[in-house]
Amino acid sequence: MKKLLILCLCFAFVLASCTSGGQKGESSNISNTGDVNSTVSDPDNSIPDDADQNSDNSSAVYGELKVDSTVSKPQVIEVRSDENTADMLNPEVMKKAGANKAALAMREKVLNSKDAVRVGGTTYYVSSKGSDSNDGRTPAAPFEKLTTAFAAAQEGDAVLLERGSVFRLGSTITLTNGVTYGAYGTGEKPEVWGSLENYAQPVRWQPYNIRNVWAIDFMDSDVGIIVFNHGEAVGNMQYYVRNLKKNGDFFFDNMQKVLYVYCDKGNPGNAYKDIEIGSRKILFRLRDGAENVTIDNIAFKYTGTFGIRGASGCRGINITNCIIGWIGGSMMESANNRFGNGIEFAAGCQDITVENCWIYQIYDAGFTFQITLPEGEEKEQTFKNINLKNNLIEYCSWAFEWWPTDSVCKIENISVTGNIMRFSGYGFAWDTRGPSHIRGAWSAKDFTARNFVISDNIFDCANGPVYAWALYSSEQFGSPLSGNSYYQRMPNSSYKSVFIFDLLEADTGAWAAKNQKQFDSVIAEFDRKAAVVKWLG
């Protein structure tokens, strides 16, 4: 009898194993009937902040991607993008620009910038080839995870990321006051990516019950941006799965954590070598009121909100020699608007320098300082001693945005000099945001800006106005523009004016141009010392 019982139990175990499926991906939330099982939890809900995710252990080579299945713990060298990644989406716009030579020279300067940070305290090293069992205090024994290195650093210390490494973040990293964050080693800048993994894995994607629509479980927050092959194509957000009609269209079901993408080339994991998905997370977050933080020679990419953000009185922040690209597009938590900036300082800041950085393909602004207070709340905010200089900012909706409140807002000693701002409104957000090189207040505010200087910049081909600002009074603007160079052609968007200064929201103060003579006349109204004024047709 005992033997019979044992045989029955064994048979039941085998039967259960056979009926359980056992195929990878069967526990997915995705159903071809359109049903979604919302009770299935994240199969890996303990993803570390910078874990490398790769479910395919087969050998493969694409650019810099190499996976060797013969070793017990395969080393993955990430697929890194070429330096022309900014231009891949819209290469035609460069052919009609006016400042390519200067812009490409500035790119090279940023790409080849040297590490020059000086630290008085302990230096911690972190590498994608490191180990968290190391002490992290020498390049020969670096940490592996950013979170480990960042937690160790105290005021006066430094955290250096190894050049050539890619660090993927599962969540926002908050920086420590008084710490320097930089790079070490040789080669390309270390990169911090908001995309959890390269999603070009065929096994991850399943066909949906709409033709050419594919679905993937995505256990993260709101999807704002999808970048295919590092800029060859970019996703186009839709608000219903039924609206997915062309390649790259996507819809994210935030409740069920399923992402749907239209791809008539077949399985997206086969159609592309690299797919990066950015969700609603800040890559580097400065603490509220953060002080004395330096970020140097690091590249930030692929997130739906911000590359770097600080708020509530940050001061003494230096961001130098960095690259920030493919940022933004997530929905605000209120679900009423998409957003995302390369670098943002909100609710007051002082003594801020952003220099020698390359910022591109940002959904909203490359750099912005602004107020973010609840409707009707008044609180004095000060923006003082802000320097944006010698940066290349391109393919954003606005290269530079500043957004004040009423008289409780104090703005003084703002310097925007030596920058190249170009192709605003020609990036992945196109003209949906009302593009301009410089975007001032969206509605008229009663405040005064003191010592606000915009000089010696190059403004090259906005898909809209050079400058747009809602004025409270005709005297409020003052004369901040001096010695700038202007290259412009007729925009292909609906925003045709070269300058828009809307007095008390009365639809007044728009200046348009259609030829060189008119362009000369308009620029003379605002910048009497302009270095170059050229209408490109």
The domain ranges of the chain are 202-274, 281-535
Q: For residues 97 and 88, what is the distance between their CA atoms, to the nearest angstrom?
A: 15
pLDDT digits 0-9 by tens, 476-486: 667 789 999 99
Average pLDDT rounded to a whole number, residues 380-408? 91
Across 6-20, 351-365, 402-416, 418-432, least confident range: 6-20
Q: Are the C-beta atoms of 473 and 445 separated by less than 8 Å? A: no
Torsion angles phi and psi, residue 514, rounded to 5: -130, -5
Q: What pLDDT is recorded for position 65?
A: 28
Q: What pLDDT is recorded for position 33?
A: 30
Return the top range by mean pLDDT from 398-402, 511-515, 524-528. 398-402
User: Where are the extended beta strands (E) located within 128-211?
Assistant: 158-162, 166-168, 173-174, 180-184, 191-193, 206-207
Residue 360: Cβ-neighbour burial (10 angstroms; 0-12, 13-18, 19+): buried
3-state secondary structure of 11: helix
Q: What pLDDT is recorded for position 78?
A: 65
Q: For residues 173 and 159, what is the distance between their CA atoms, to the nearest angstrom?
A: 13
Q: What pLDDT is recorded for position 476?
A: 67
Taking only Cα atoms into account, the Rg of the chain, rounded to an integer number of angstroms, comes to: 25
Q: What pLDDT is recorded for position 375?
A: 58
Across 149-163, 409-423, 505-519, least confident range: 505-519
Amino acid identity of 111? L
- Is 80 exceeded by the pLDDT of residue 504? no
The token pair that represents 284 in the structure block = 């580097």
Q: What is the pTM of this model?
A: 0.86
3-state secondary structure of 84: helix
> Which secondary-structure segment (H or E) carries 416?
strand 409-417
Q: What percent of the chain has pLDDT over 90?
A: 69
Amino acid identity of 318? N
Q: What pLDDT is recorded for position 184?
A: 98
Of 54, 47, 50, nearest in space to 142 by CA: 50
Across 352-356, 364-368, 471-475, least confident range: 471-475
The DSSP annotation for 343-395 comes to EEEES-EEEEEEES-EEEEEEEEEEEEE----TT----EEEEEEEEES-EEEE
Amino acid identity of 488? Q
Q: For residues 166 and 102, what is the distance between their CA atoms, to the nearest angstrom?
A: 29
Torsion angles phi and psi, residue 417, rounded to 5: -135, 145
Angle at CA 338, nearest 5°, toward 336 and 340? 140
Q: Residue 266 region, left (φ>0) first, then alpha (ψ -120 to 50), else beta? A: left
3-state secondary structure of 10: helix
Q: How many whole angstroms from its chain centre is CA 527?
A: 32
Query: Using 50, 70 and 90 to split pLDDT, how confident is the model at 405?
Result: confident
Sheet holding 349-355, edge to edge: 123-126, 158-162, 180-184, 291-296, 314-320, 349-355, 381-389, 409-417, 449-455, 481-482
Question: pLDDT: is 39 or 265 the higher one?
Answer: 265
Q: Find the largest Cα–Cα distance for the chain.
A: 104
Q: What pLDDT is recorded for position 97?
A: 97
Q: Are the C-beta atoms of 251 and 241 separated by less than 8 Å? A: yes
Distances (CA, A) of 28 to 200, 259, 522: 17, 12, 59
